[in-house]
């Protein structure tokens, strides 16, 4: 896909999102209410209208090939870059998905192993030590010092003894 095609698709998607936001804003009054001032929906409605008009402007520039992006025939994301970026994005998505299932202390080591060993090609020794040390540091810093309880999923019961000691 070229940068020019990507520009078109992005403008269309953002334009559609603007229309959705406009219609969603009308759930509250968008006009003037006597003794109350502007209705609750008016601020987002008019802003979403500005968003839509900007998208129309971007499409107008696209049609007349104005500017470096609208006239670019370069590849939007190079294939080998796409592999790297997409695998990182996918790994992050899987990691966040696993937060609620196996908990943060189950998913973070997996993410670290993936990144260090398979993206970074580091030794197993370094990978294993960081995959253990980093979650421990996170537990101490966030859960004990800051008292922010992070999601644990099914591993919750394992932490009850630790809560008793530290919290």
Give the count of beta carbons closer than 10 Å to the beta carbon of residue 145: 10
User: Does residue 143 touch another protein according to CB under 8 A?
Assistant: no
DSSP 37: E
Is residue 32 within a helix (H) or strand (E), and if so which, with residue range? strand 32-33
Interface with another protein in residues 8-37 (CB under 8 A)? 10, 14, 21, 24-25, 27-28, 32, 36-37
Q: Which is nearer to another protein, 78 or 156 (CB)?
A: 78
Least distance to another protein, CB of residue 165, Å: 20
Q: CB 161 → another protein: shortest distance, Å?
A: 22
Helix axes 42-63, 3-25, angle to 10 degrees: 160
Binds another protein by CB under 8 A, chosen from 71, 142, 144, 155 = 142
Residue 92 has which token pair?
């992050």
Q: Which of 30, 65, 71, 89 binds another protein (CB under 8 A)?
A: 89
Among 12, 19, 71, 88, binds another protein (CB under 8 A): 88
Could you say whether residue 128 binds another protein (CB under 8 A)?
no
Sign, CA dihedral 129-130-135-138, equals positive
Q: How far apart are CA 133 and CA 141, in angstroms?
A: 12
Return the closest-CA partner of residue 29 out of 13, 17, 19, 41.
41
Q: Which sign, positive or negative, has the C-alpha torsion 142, 145, 149, 155? A: positive
Q: Is 138 exposed, middle or buried (0-12, 13-18, 19+ CB in 10 A)?
A: middle
Residue nearer to another protein on the CB measure, 57 or 158: 57
Residues contributing to the site for another protein (CB under 8 A): 3, 6-7, 10, 14, 21, 24-25, 27-28, 32, 36-38, 40-41, 43-44, 47-48, 50-51, 54-55, 57-58, 61, 67-69, 76-78, 80-81, 84-85, 88-89, 92-93, 95-96, 99-100, 104, 108, 111-112, 115-116, 119-122, 126, 130, 134, 138, 141-142, 145-146, 148-151
């Amino acid at each position: 896909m070229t940068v020019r095609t990507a520009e078109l698709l992005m403008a269309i998607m953002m334009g559609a999102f603007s229309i959705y936001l406009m219609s969603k804003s009308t759930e509250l009054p968008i006009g003037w209410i006597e003794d109350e001032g502007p209705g609750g929906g008016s601020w987002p409605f008019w802003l979403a209208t500005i968003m839509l008009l900007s998208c129309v402007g971007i499409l107008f520039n696209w049609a007349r090939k104005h500017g470096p992006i609208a006239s670019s025939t370069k590849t939007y994301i190079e294939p080998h870059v796409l592999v790297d970026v997409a695998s990182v994005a996918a790994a992050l998505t899987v990691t966040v998905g696993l937060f609620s299932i196996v908990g943060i202390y189950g998913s973070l080591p997996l993410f670290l192993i993936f990144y260090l060993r398979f993206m970074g090609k580091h030794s197993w020794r370094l990978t294993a030590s960081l995959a253990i040390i980093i979650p421990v540091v996170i537990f101490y810093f966030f859960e004990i010092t800051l008292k922010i309880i992070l999601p644990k999923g099914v591993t919750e019961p394992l932490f009850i003894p630790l809560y008793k000691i530290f919290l």
